Amino acid sequence: MNLKLRVWRQENSQTPGNFVEYKADDISPDMSFLEMLDIVNEGLIKRGEEPIAFDHDCREGICGTCGMVINGVAHGPLGATTTCQLHMRHFKDGQLITIEPWRARPFPVIKDLVVDRSAFDRIVQAGGYVSARTGGAPDGNAIPIPKPDADLAMDAAACIGCGACVAACKNASAMLFVAAKVSHLNILPQGKPEKNRRVLNMVRAMDEEGFGNCTVMGSCEAVCPKEISLDFISRMNRDYLHALWRSK
């Protein structure tokens, strides 16, 4: 199949960017979206043009490195799928595909489609952990955890930190990511002792990074490659209210 691409090119965070059109010819439907871009880039290099910069690593949908907005949808048209796991069979021959970086003030563009998501790391540093220093942990079976709780925690923990939720949200809100992180630990008995501090500090960090507020639009859930549920946002709102109540 042959495609027309409109790709966002931007030298660096200072210089403004713009769209550039490229042709992607004889693309196989079995290619992944990134493999399609690989081919385009090979062509560019041959022509002496700088290849399109985009982040990727595992290409298995688990590391959360890849991510671009494809025809206005973060990670592209296929639900519950990262860009690297999206295959060309989901596009039509001759289609025009517009490719943009995540857009959000807390995610400044580094180059072309590469953005800086370090804000997520700083949010986790603010409290996204259980303070269990190495050694001296009780036996793994000392505290039984009801299967439903363990499963729910796992649902939240499945978040790969890709940032698509922020990219999709009209308010560039990071609520889904933060809620997933908070819930994963707050649900488990191991996370209980730091429950309140955790949610208070992580929300503070989230606000300080300049993410928007959640007006419950649900776009984040719709694009999340790991299908993280809005329920976790509700749960975090609950945890936060409870923590506020307790806080002095």
Partner 1 sequence: MNLARVYGSSLGKKYIMAITGLLLFLFVIVHMLGNLQVYIGRDAMNAYAELLKSKPGLLWTFRTALFIVAVLHIVSALQLAAENRNARPERYAAGKPIATFASRTILVSGLIVLAFIVYHLMHFTLGVTNPEFLELHDSLKRHDVYQMVVDAFRNPWVSAFYIISMGLLCLHLSHGVSSSFQSLGIRRRATAAALNRFAQVAATLIFVGNCSIPLSIYLKVVK
Partner 2 sequence: MKLDAKIPSGPLAEKWSKHRNNIKLVNPANKRKFDVIVVGSGLAGGSAAATLSELGYKVKCFCFQDSPRRAHSIAAQGGINAAKNYQNDGDSVYRLFYDTIKGGDFRSREANVYRLAEVSVNIIDQCVAQGVPFAREYSGFLANRSFGGAQVSRTFYARGQTGQQLLLGAYQALAKQIEAGGVKMYPRTEMLDLVLIDGHAKGIVVRDLVTGKISSHAADAVVLATGGYGNVFFLSTNAKGCNVTAIWRAYKRGALMANPSFTQIHPTCIPVTGEHQSKLTLMSESLRNDGRVWVPKNKGDNRPPNEIPKEDRDYFLERKYPAYGNLAPRDISSRAAKEVCDEGRGVGPGGRGVYLDFADAIERLGMNVIRERYGNLFEMYERITDENAYKTPMRIYPASHYTMGGLWVDYNLMSNIPGLYVIGEANFSDHGANRLGASALMQGLADGYFVLPYTIGDYFASERPAKPSLDNSEFKKVEEEVAERTKKLLSIKGGRTVTEFHRELGKLMWDKCGMARNEAGLKEALEKIPAMRREFWEDVNVLGDGNELNQSLEYAGRVADFMEFGELLVYDALQRDESCGAHFREEHQTADGEALRDDEKFAYVAAWEYQGPDARPILHKEPLVYEEVHLATRSYK
d(Cα 35, Cα 26) in Å, to the nearest integer? Answer: 12
- As measured in angstroms, the least distance from the Cβ of 227 to ligand FES is 15
Residue list 113-132, contact with partner 1 (CB under 8 A): none
- As measured in angstroms, the least distance from the Cβ of 82 to ligand FES is 4
Under the binding rule (CB under 8 A), the answer on residue 129 touching partner 2 is yes
d(Cα 81, Cα 70) in Å, to the nearest integer? Answer: 12
Under the binding rule (CB under 8 A), the answer on residue 170 touching partner 1 is yes
Burial class of residue 89 (count of CB atoms within 10 Å of its CB; 0-12, 13-18, 19+): exposed
Out of 5, 27, 70, 84, name the contact with ligand FES by CB under 6 A.
Answer: 84
164 makes contact, choosing from ligand SF4, ligand FES, ligand F3S, none, with CB < 5 to 8 Å by partner type, with ligand SF4
Residue 203's nearest CA partner among 188, 191, 213 is 213
**DSSP track, 172-217:** ---HHHHHHHHHHHHHSGGGGGGHHHHHHHHHHHHHHTT-------
- As measured in angstroms, the least distance from the Cβ of 217 to partner 2 is 26
User: Looking at beta carbons only, is 105 or 215 nearer to partner 2?
Assistant: 105
Which residues face 106 on adjacent strands? Answer: none
Out of 86, 206, 224, 228, name the contact with partner 1 by CB under 8 A.
Answer: 206
Vertex 156, ends 191 and 183: CA angle to 5°?
A: 40
Residues binding ligand FES: what is the number (CB under 6 A)? 13
Instruction: Please identify, among the stretches 75-83, 117-125, 154-162, 208-216, the one whose residues bind ligand F3S according to the rule CB under 6 A.
Output: 208-216
